[in-house]
Amino acid sequence: MKLRQLGAVCAMGLGLTATAALAEYPERPINMVIPYGAGGATDISARTIAEPLGTVVGKPLVMSNITGAGGATGSVAVQNAKADGYTMLFARVGSHTVNPAMKATLPYTLDDFRFVTVYEINPVACAVRPDSGIETIEDLVALTESEGTSFSSSGVGSMLHLAAVMVLDEFGVENPLDKAIHIPQGGGGEAATAVLNGTVTFICTNTSALANFVANGQLKPILVTTAEPVPGFDAPTAVDLGKPDLTQLVGWTGIAGPDDLPDDVAAKWGEWMAAAAGDEKFIAQMSALGSVINVMSPEEANAFIQTQYETFRALVDKLGMRIEG
């Protein structure tokens, strides 16, 4: 991932040409690629920000769901697009930190994209059935060590898969892949249901996916991977438990273009997102889903994503989780 300074273009000879080009963007509608299906976390986030963002941009935003391969298909469409700012991607933790860390054959790397912002953070929570006899994360760790446990996810190599293993590893479980059986499901909703019906012991997933189950008393949260408490989740934070490294274990949504996206275009997006994400309606809608609105500058977004990728990749290499095929 290449970090660039987003200051004013001062090169000799560009003069009025550069000024005119900056003033002209955008001249036409912008294609916004959502690399996941309708109704999912990325789609909801993208379509919720679309209204205030479109107002700030001043041109129509054409929202396109290009799905497949865990977000890779849509990501490749943007990777191969002309770097003129008219094809942009709603990047996600799964497509741009989990997939690169887990999958050796992924057709892109982080260096193929220029991230202009991360604007939404989705904390992760681990949860069990209230009648499981597990009251704390320490109870879950002890049970995993003594008898073994099981966990669900939305699929092999998914964020949920990595999250459960990372939590167990951080709390000192040796060989967590041997002691906790991974039972992947068809999606995030099915993964939560697998805990409800007793198919698995626990799940670690975004708080937004658990909010209704927790509010209804169907699932009990035992950990949130944040520094601050998460409203509606009566559970200790990673920092409370002395595990600050787990604060890297969060979902996120951001916007990216092809790697050669011009500086002036990236700067525009930084300005637009700072304004759009301050919309009160957008904040209220996303907060109700358990999201935290935190708009990062291009530099901050690149640093955040790179650090998360390195954290995930180190765990994957340590435990031999890299998917080669």
**Cα separation, 39 vs 43, whole angstroms:** 6
CATH no., domain 15-121+250-319: 3.40.190.150
Cα within 13 Å of Cα(269), Cβ side: 32
Per DSSP, the residues of 14-80 read THHHHHHHHHH--SS-EEEEE-S-TTSHHHHHHHHHHHHHHHHH-S-EEEEE---GGGHHHHHHHHT
What pLDDT score was predicted for residue 23?
53
Alpha helices in the chain (DSSP H): 15-24, 41-57, 72-79, 93, 99-102, 137-146, 159-170, 176-179, 188-196, 207-215, 263-276, 280-288, 298-319
Cα torsion at 101, 103, 104, 107 (round to 10°)?
-100
Question: Is there a contact between 61 and 30 (Cβ–Cβ < 8 Å)?
Answer: yes
DSSP H or E stretch at residue 92: strand 87-92
- What sign does the dihedral 88-187-171-210 (CA atoms) show? positive
**Cα separation, 182 vs 153, whole angstroms:** 8
Measured at the alpha carbon of residue 98, what is the angle toward residues 97 and 103, in degrees to the nearest 5?
A: 110
For residue 67, CA distances in Å to 16, 64, 101 come to: 41, 9, 20
Task: Domain ranges for the chain, please list them.
Answer: 15-121+250-319, 123-247
DSSP code for 273:
H
What pLDDT score was predicted for residue 289?
81
- Report the candidate in 199, 137, 138, 149 with the shortest Cα–Cα distance to residue 177: 149
Q: What is the maximal distance between C-alpha atoms in the chain?
A: 72
Is residue 40 pLDDT above 50, yes or no?
yes
Name which residue leads in pLDDT, 307 or 5. 307
For residue 207, CA distances in Å to 125, 142, 151, 203 come to: 6, 24, 16, 11
DSSP code for 200:
S
Confidence of residue 278 (pLDDT cuts 50, 70, 90): very high
Name the β-bridge partners of 63.
32
What pLDDT score was predicted for residue 187?
79
What pLDDT score was predicted for residue 24?
84
- Per-chain mean pLDDT for the chain: 91
What pLDDT score was predicted for residue 39?
81
pLDDT in tens, 244-266: 999 999 999 999 999 999 999 99
Is residue 9 pLDDT above 70, yes or no?
no
pLDDT in tens, 96-130: 999 999 999 999 999 999 999 999 999 999 999 99
Q: Do domains 15-121+250-319 and 123-247 have the same CATH topology?
A: yes
Domain 123-247 fold is D-Maltodextrin-Binding Protein; domain 2 (3.40.190)
The first and second tokens of residue 275, run together, are 């304004």
Mean pLDDT of 180-191: 90
